Amino acid sequence: MLENHLLLVLTLLFVVSMLALISEKLNVPYPIVLVLAGLIISFIPGVPLVSMRPDVIFFIFLPPLLYSAAWNTAWSEFWHLRRSIGTLAVGLVIFTATGIAFVSYWLIPNFSLAAGFLLGSIISPPDAIAATSVLQKLKIPRRVTTILDGESLLNDATSLIVFRFALICILTGKFIFWDATVGFFTVVIMGVVIGLAIGHLVYLIHKNLPTTAGTDTALTLITPYLMYLTAEHFHFSGVLAVVSGGLLVSYRSADIFAYNSRLQSLTVWSVLVFLLNGIVFILIGLQLPQIIKGIERYSFPHIIFYAVIISLVTIIIRLFWVFTVNYLIRLLKPSRENNEARFNWKADFVVGWSGMRGVVSLASALAIPLTLSTGIEFPYRSLILFITFTVILATLILQGLTLPFLLRWLKVETHENDVQQENTIRYKLAIAVIEYLERNCPTEITEIPVFTRVKNRYERMAEIANKSLVADDDLSPSFMKTYRDMLLEIIRVRRAVLKKMHRDNIFADHLIRAKERELDLEEARTRKT
């Protein structure tokens, strides 16, 4: 039995890796390819039924994925755009849940309003992984990506809290607004407090104990689970605990991690996140046979109609909210301090259209109990599951595949000055080194050739960066591309010589590998510029 489970996991990992290569070749976001592949695989005769357990998603997959997203979010940008992020992550989730509740109550015969709120809470949060993977290769304004990333960090918490109260309402038949409001803020605030407390504890461990690269990396893997499980144990928001703690540790990472810890952690986390994302999306597709089995009692044309209408309403609600709220914010506060909301309509549309749903929605739907406390079957559970699955497919495939074409059609302008900022940083760093050498090593610079060469090197770096800064905007990117290509070609030449040395077996193997590692780091650094 254990061997069968292990074989299944290894098979999934292999399939995910191969499909990721195919998606790269097709230039299609890999979540879309994985979901469609899961759908196809699920109908192959003889393929075992793979069930997605909600507790596995919430307790194993969700914490590291949220922690990684929080780690890669710049706190300064997050805080600067907090108003826009908050209106999406809290306001839009509640607005979507309410809108879906009334639409489904009106659309589906005998569908209760409480069940509508349950469905609305499930499909209200866009998926962080889907949006990021679709947008990562597209040239869009930095503020748009920051808003979408920030929204995806917080909206899961809002939706899960609304889901919890809606489920309690159905199970108990009672809903007290005041108790729900107090409970909401308690869950939110205490989740953040637990995350910050554990994050500060982890910070002190990294900073004051003699950790190594291995132990630092291991602690980063343990931390999100510790935050999530602690908060959930006390019935607070584990999502907000991971997000707040992750933002804290990420903000202070420069003070506590050495270079080797950062390099190793980055490598380990990139592989882990890729595999977890891949498994999650292929599992979504594999759930279809299980979901279809539960809807046999319903008329198939009717439930398709319900699912399509609710999918369209979900998309329309998001677009309506984004345009309406941004317009009202600009209308009420047109001053300079409201720069965060000053997007043109094209950027607003990108934010509104980037509402792909994903694994949290499906896991929430699967978490609905099979029966009520009285032993009666949970009403409309199978229908809610099917509608959720349809909304995920509709938003992920429709919006995910059309977004690149819409960006080209709308001609969204980025207005970014990354090249100028990179050149400024490079110039200031080079000038700081030159000033340090002149101040602390004046004799060595003139008398020792190696010191002279170091100074000359940074003077050339400063000169190149300065030329790029004073060049016309149209010429600067072209100049930097030529310069980067030259550096990459030099690395290629050195790498070819190293390979020949390795084949000739002239020098010690560990020295060759050390130089290969240096070239790897140099090439990675060059390609990022």
**What is the DSSP code string of 304-316?**
HHHHHHHHHHHHH
CA angle 37, 43, 49 (to 5 degrees): 95
Instruction: Give me the pLDDT at residue 173, please.
Output: 67
**Position 207: which residue type?**
K
> With contact defined as beta carbons under 8 Å apart, do 106 and 325 qualify?
no
Helices 259-286 & 62-71 angle (0-180, nearest 10): 130
Clarify whether residues 247 and 299 are in a common domain: yes
End-to-end CA distance of the chain: 50
Question: Do 115 and 83 sit in the same domain of this protein?
Answer: yes
Q: Which is nearest to 466 in space by CA: 504, 426, 514? A: 426
- Dihedral pair phi/psi, residue 377, rounded to 5°: -60, 135
Residue 293 contacts residue 310 (beta carbons within 8 Å): no
Output the pLDDT for position 413: 63
At a CB cut-off of 8 Å and minimum separation 6, what does 214 contact? 264
Query: Does 369 share its domain with 453?
Result: no
Cα 520 to Cα 263, 274, 517: the distances in Å are 12, 21, 5
Under DSSP, the state recorded for 336 is: G
The stretches in the chain having pLDDT less than 70 are: 1-2, 4-5, 128-129, 131-133, 136-138, 173-180, 333-343, 373-374, 413-419, 468-480, 528-529
Q: Is the same domain home to 74 and 137? A: yes
Tell me the C-alpha to C-alpha distance, in Å, between residue 309 and each of 3, 106, 126.
44, 12, 18
Phi/psi at 136 (5° precision): -65, -30
Two tokens at 109?
Answer: 């015969």
Number of domains, the chain: 2
Say which residues have a Cβ less than 8 Å from residue 496's Cβ, sequence separation at least 6. none
Domain residues for the domain of 80 are 2-410
> Which pLDDT belongs to residue 304?
92
**Residue 323 structure tokens:** 């345009």
Asked if residue 231 and residue 305 are part of one domain, the reply reads yes
Residues 384 and 520 in one domain: no
Bridge partners (DSSP) listed for residue 371: 377
Residues 163 and 292 in one domain: yes
Q: What is the CATH number of the domain that holds 197?
A: 1.20.1530.20
One domain for residues 197 and 341: yes
Residue finishing a domain among 410, 431, 450: 410
Which is it for the CA torsion 212, 217, 220, 223, positive or negative? negative
Give yes or no for a contact between 31 and 277, defined as CB atoms under 8 angstroms apart: yes
Are 368 and 379 within 8 A, CB to CB? no
Are residues 211 and 299 both part of a single domain? yes
Q: Which residues pair with 377 in a beta bridge?
A: 371
Do residue 395 and residue 489 come from a single domain?
Answer: no
pLDDT value of position 316: 95
In the Cβ-directed half-sphere of 475, how many Cα atoms lie within 13 Å? 6
Residue 75 confidence (pLDDT) = 82
CB 65 within 8 A of CB 272: no
pLDDT for residue 314? 95
What is this structure's pTM? 0.82
Please answer whether residues 352 and 412 qualify as being in contact, where contact means their C-beta atoms are separated by less than 8 angstroms.
Answer: no
Same domain, 252 and 137: yes
- Per-residue pLDDT, 340: 46
With a CB cutoff of 8 Å and minimum separation 6, the contacts of 476 are: 419, 420, 423, 468, 469
Q: Rounded to whole angstroms, what are the CA distances from 185 to 137, 152, 237, 318?
A: 37, 19, 10, 24
Q: Residue 166 corresponds to which amino acid?
A: A
Per-residue b or e along 497-518, where b marks 16 or more CB atoms closer than 10 Å to that residue's CB: ebeeeeeeeeeeeeebeebeee
How big is the chain, counted in residues? 529
Considering 393, 410, 427, which residue would you say is the last residue of a domain?
410
Domain end among 410, 436, 451:
410
Task: Tell me, yes or no, whether 422 and 515 share the same domain.
Answer: yes
Q: How far is CA 247 from CA 114, 124, 130, 359, in A?
A: 35, 24, 21, 22
- Using CA atoms, how far apart are residues 352 and 346, in angstroms rounded to an integer? 10
